[in-house]
Structure 1
Amino acid sequence: MTDAQVTIDVEPRERFSIAPDKLVSIIIPCYNQARFLGAAIESALQQDYQHFEVIVVDDGSTDHTWDVAARYPKVVAVRQQNQGVAAARNNGVRVSSGSYLVFLDSDDRLLPNALRVGMKQLLDHPECAFVFGCHRDIAADGTARSTHSFVGIEKDPYRQFLLYNCVYTPSTAMFRRDIFETETGFVSLFGGAEDYDLYLRIARKFPIFGYDEIVAEYRRHDTNKTGNNAQMLKACVSILREQKGYVRGNPDWEEAYQAGMSNWRRIWGERLVSQVWSRCKEG
Structure 2
Amino acid sequence: MTGEKVSVVIPAYNAARFLAEAIESVLAQTVAPAEVIVVDDGSTDQTDRIAMGFSEVRLISLAHSGVSVARNHGVGAATGSFIAFLDADDTWHPDKLDRQLSLARSSPEVGVVMARQAYRFEGLVPAWFRGPTDGSSEPGYMPSNWLVRRRSWEVVGGFDERMSHSEDTDWLARAVDLGVAVAMVDEPLVTHRIHDSNASGLPREVRQGVLRALRDSVHRKQGAP
Q: TM-score, normalised by structure 1?
A: 0.71
Cα-to-partner distance string for 1:21-71 (whole Å, 9 max, x where unaligned): 421111100001110001000001000002431110000001110000000
DSSP-derived class of the 1:222 partner? coil
Amino acid at match of 2:16: A
Distance in 1, matches of 2:9 and 2:33, equals 14
1:39 pairs with one of 13, 16, 21: 21
DSSP-derived class of the 1:178 partner? helix
Where does residue 146 of structure 1 map in the other structure?
Answer: 135
In 2, are the aligned partners of 1:25 and 1:53 still within 8 Å (CA)? yes
Amino acid at match of 2:119: D
Q: TM-score, normalised by structure 2?
A: 0.89
Distance in 2, matches of 1:168 and 1:130, equals 10
In 1, are the aligned partners of 2:8 and 2:36 still within 8 Å (CA)? yes
Cα-to-partner distance string for 1:239-279 (whole Å, 9 max, x where unaligned): 11112223449xxxxxxxxxxxxxxxxxxxxxxxxxxxxxx
Where structure 1 has 5 or more consecutive residues not aligned to the other structure, the ranges are 1-18, 151-166, 250-283
In the TM superposition, residue 145 of structure 1 has moved relative to its aligned partner by 5.3
Relative contact order higher in (CA < 8 Å, ≥ 6 apart): 2
Kindly report structure 1 stretches of 4+ aligned residues shifted beyond 6 Å: none
Indicate the structure (1 or 2) with the bigger Cα radius of gyration.
1
In the TM superposition, residue 121 of structure 1 has moved relative to its aligned partner by 0.8
Where does residue 25 of structure 1 map in the other structure?
Answer: 7
Aligned length: 212
Where does residue 34 of structure 2 map in the other structure?
Answer: 52
Amino acid at match of 1:236: V
1:193 pairs with one of 157, 166, 171: 166
Amino acid at match of 1:148: S
Where structure 2 has 5 or more consecutive residues not aligned to the other structure, the ranges are 124-132
Distance in 1, matches of 2:162 and 2:48, equals 26
Where does residue 103 of structure 1 map in the other structure?
Answer: 85
Where does residue 129 of structure 2 map in the other structure?
Answer: none
In the TM superposition, residue 94 of structure 1 has moved relative to its aligned partner by 1.1
- Percentage identity across paired residues of the two chains: 33
Cα root mean square deviation, aligned = 1.7
Alignment of 1:164-183 (within 5 A): 167-183=140-156
In 1, are the aligned partners of 2:8 and 2:33 still within 8 Å (CA)? no
In 2, are the aligned partners of 1:48 and 1:112 still within 8 Å (CA)? yes
Q: Which has the higher helix share?
A: 1
Where does residue 175 of structure 2 map in the other structure?
Answer: 202
Distance in 2, matches of 1:25 and 1:119, equals 13
